[in-house]
Amino acid sequence: MNYYDETARGYNELHGEEQLKKLKIIANEIKVNKDTKLLDVGCGTGLSAKVFYCNITGIDPSKELLKQCPFKTIKAKAESLPFKGNEFDVVIAVTSIHNFDDIEAGLKEIKRVGKDWFALTVLKKAGNADEILEKIKQIFKIKQQIKEGKDRILICTQNLYTPSADP
């Protein structure tokens, strides 16, 4: 996480515009109200607060980025989220999944703490982009896939398929 701690002061200048663009696309697809509980995984500087007007909690492993967040944050990694199951109505992970130490574990944790809606973005140029997309398809039910400049945005719900339900 050295890159993020080292660039924290100029993060919004470097990446803010592209991150806000993705967040606005997500906000058009997933409607929230002031009572919606939203978890922002890899929240960075808290740009999601400029788009989502609800009860936001953020996690990020970069202490320096978290210092800039305007909402409640916890220094943590996606693979070990310090929350109860089904605690959040919406969980977003914008351009962060490729940084997870264990992609499958991080995605399963996101699913565990979320109830209804998930917005996950995959950086197209990430070396593990195909692996990430495949894991998302295995773990979530993809409702919509939006191609955006540098990312793919996936709007997902809990995967209702369970192997034990088969006859």
pLDDT at 5: 72
- Token look-up 């996950």 returns 120
pTM score, two decimals? 0.90
What pLDDT was estimated at residue 8? 65
Cα pseudo-dihedral 85, 137, 15, 5, rounded to 10:
50
**Residues of the chain below pLDDT 70:** 1, 8, 11-12, 14-15, 159-167
pLDDT of residue 12: 61
Domains detected in the chain: 2-8+18-161 (3.40.50.150)
